[in-house]
């Protein structure tokens, strides 16, 4: 895979109460990814960015919500999220990620 492409796959970690519980219980982490990302690309991107070994990847497409502002009806963009399960002995610490200041 192209390294530039892999660096753009992961957009942000989804740190919510639900994703934190999943992470504690099953060693899974949730990421917002680009819509055209494939499971092998997501696996390689996580391994490259966080220096961990990935066991499996599951993806889900989330539909954008319809929002209303006065008389105008708009729609948020659709997005894709990835549930990444790590192999035993590996963990991601979002506070001490390499490459951050």
Spatial CA neighbour of 31 closest among 80, 74, 77: 80
pTM: 0.84
Measure the CA–CA gap between 89 and 83, rounded to whole angstroms. 18
Query: What confidence score (pLDDT) does residue 2 get?
Result: 86
C-beta separation of 48 from 41 below 8 A: no
> What does the block give as tokens for 54?
């990935």
Query: What confidence score (pLDDT) does residue 97 get?
Result: 59
Query: What confidence score (pLDDT) does residue 81 get?
Result: 96
For 6-61, the pLDDT digits (tens) are 999 999 999 899 998 998 888 899 999 999 999 999 999 999 999 999 999 999 99
Measure the CA–CA gap between 100 and 64, rounded to whole angstroms. 30
C-beta separation of 10 from 46 below 8 A: yes
């Amino acid at each position: 895979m192209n390294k530039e492409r892999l660096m753009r796959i992961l957009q942000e970690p989804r740190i919510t109460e639900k994703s934190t519980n999943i992470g504690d219980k099953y060693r899974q982490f949730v990421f917002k990814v680009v819509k055209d990302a494939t499971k092998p690309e997501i696996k390689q991107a996580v391994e490259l960015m966080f220096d961990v070994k990935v066991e499996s990847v599951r993806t889900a497409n989330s539909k954008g919500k319809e929002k209303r502002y006065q008389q105008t009806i708009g729609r948020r963009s659709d997005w894709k999220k990835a549930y990444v399960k790590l192999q035993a002995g590996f963990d991601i610490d979002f506070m001490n990620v390499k490459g951050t200041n």
